[in-house]
Amino acid sequence: MTATDENTATTEEKPWHLSGNNAPVFDEVTLTDLEVKGAIPPELSGRYFRNGANPQTGFSDHWFSGDGMVHGIEVNNGKAQWYRNRYVRTPMHANPDKARMDLYLNPETLAFDHNVSTANTHVIGHAGKILALEEGSFPYELTQQIDTVGPHTYDGKLTTAMTAHPKVCAETGELLFFGYSSMPPYLVYHRATADGQLVQSTEITVNGPTMMHDFVVSRNYSIFMDLPMVFDMELAMSGGMPIRWSDDYPARMGVMPRAGSDADVQWFDVNPCYVFHTLNAHEVGDEVVITGCRIKELWRQSSDIGFDDGSGEDSAPMMWEWRLNRATGKVSERQIDDRGSEFPRVPDSLVGLKSRFGYTMGMAEPGDAGTVFKYDMDINGGTRTEHVFPVGHVPGEPSFVPAAGATNEDDGYLMTYVYAGDTDTSYLVMLDASNVAADPVAEIHLPRRVPTGFHGSWIAD
């Protein structure tokens, strides 16, 4: 392993998204003989991958814009076989000194090159492929060893960007996703079969160039979130994050049959807000019930990710519920929790179905003890329990992995990387999802840190 170059600038000189554990690492390593505390469940065989922004130059304008780096740990036979970290090789990675728009936008035709990507937001498995995702571009295929294969376009059928938050239907295995754009068409919905064939691409009418980071599906419907975060071309050409809050843009959610068309979308007005990440959705009679982490408002004056709406009031993401009644057209909303949390997940086997439990990463100030939350939606409309890590230990998004012979929904493990601030190293933790407050089932310790990232997946053999 080579030494990590942490850049010569001091923490005080760097923006927050390049400081502390947000700072990039610059080497790609393969480590074996990893230290394990506790016992890795012997039935687990596969790899935990997590993606994040890791600018190879040491600088980026925004937390969301660094080069994609995937960190993976392979587990089988009760052992941690290896840890690897690899950049996703994209045109952005190959041209570190060029601005994205110089590569992405053809100034004569105003056409976008969707091969140009940072591929830094998520990593999923579907139809035998591992895909690194970033919502402005095509997905990038990776090998099990995190080497880059290249852009994946479904045999040329995909002509738009692909969201970083597709949904794999728990019952059919379909991959449901969309692409949004700053230019018409602003939103296109896609559906791929369980074996990876793209069978539907449908333009959906929205009110303008909204940033649609996530969406949600239920058993019979795909639900779009047309919310007041709007693209600004002048900001895009000057660099940085070209999205701002708009008081003039209506907030609404659209419910469409899974294989439907634009004409089939039923729109529901909701209170102004933004939702980076949904938890799940399911149907109860005529109602579609949606849960997710709602933000009151952000990015009014700048694109800082501090969740400050400028009013002095806390605008951290809170667990929320929307109920959309297809028969009456009415909407009811309620706040489930008053503690801030993000990166919500349910078991993959319950995506689009009624799920009793959901898991999130608690919001923590630097130096505080990090937390993972578990919500029980069947108790008092949503009751929270939590795992509290040691002070200075900060987890990421918790991914649910089922246990062998599971009989209950929460029979399984929660996996996430944890940054240990006291040693400046990281470890992959495995928590008992049925008892999140208990001591970890296992920890796989690394002699280095895994920078703060975004989303990941357990991809089983």
Tokens standing for residue 53 = 């922004």
> Is 256 contained in some domain?
yes
- Do residues 54 and 66 touch, judged by C-beta distance below 8 A? yes
pLDDT at 3: 37
The DSSP annotation for 236-301 comes to: HHHSS--EEE-TTSPPEEEEEETT--GGG-EEEE--S-EEEEEEEEEEETTEEEEEEEEES---SS
- Do residues 190 and 177 touch, judged by C-beta distance below 8 A? yes
> Is 340 contained in some domain?
yes
pLDDT at 12: 55
The total number of structural domains in the chain stands at: 1
State which residues form the domain around 312: 11-460
pLDDT at 240: 66
Confidence of residue 9 (pLDDT cuts 50, 70, 90): very low
Q: What percent of the chain is modeled with pLDDT above 70?
A: 93
> Is 201 contained in some domain?
yes
- Do residues 357 and 377 touch, judged by C-beta distance below 8 A? yes
Does residue 308 carry a pLDDT above 50? no
- Do residues 160 and 188 touch, judged by C-beta distance below 8 A? yes
Does residue 138 carry a pLDDT above 90? yes
For 220-264, what is each residue's pLDDT tens digit? 999 999 999 999 877 766 766 788 899 999 999 999 999 999 999
> Is 77 contained in some domain?
yes
- Euclidean distance between the first and final Cα of the chain, in Å? 27
For 343-361, what is each residue's pLDDT tens digit? 999 999 999 999 999 999 9
Confidence of residue 5 (pLDDT cuts 50, 70, 90): very low
> Is 275 contained in some domain?
yes
Q: What is the CATH number of the domain that holds 155?
A: 2.130.10
> Is 2 contained in some domain?
no
When pLDDT is averaged across residues 282-289 and rounded to a whole number, the result is 98
- Encode 313-344: b = buried (16+ Cβ within 10 Å), e = exposed: eebbbbbbbbbbeeeeeebeeeebbeebbbbb
Does residue 430 carry a pLDDT above 80? yes
pTM of the full structure: 0.94
When pLDDT is averaged across residues 387-415 and rounded to a whole number, the result is 96
Q: Is 104 helix (H, G, I), strand (E, B) or coil?
A: helix
> Is 3 contained in some domain?
no
Q: Cα-Cα-Cα-Cα dihedral of 378, 284, 211, 263, to 10°?
A: 180
- Residue scoring higher pLDDT (167 or 62): 167
> Is 100 contained in some domain?
yes
203/158 Cα distance (integer angstroms): 13
When pLDDT is averaged across residues 169-196 and rounded to a whole number, the result is 97
87/120 Cα distance (integer angstroms): 9
- Average pLDDT along the chain: 93
Does residue 427 carry a pLDDT above 60? yes
> Across 11-15, 105-109, 291-295, which has the greatest mean pLDDT?
291-295
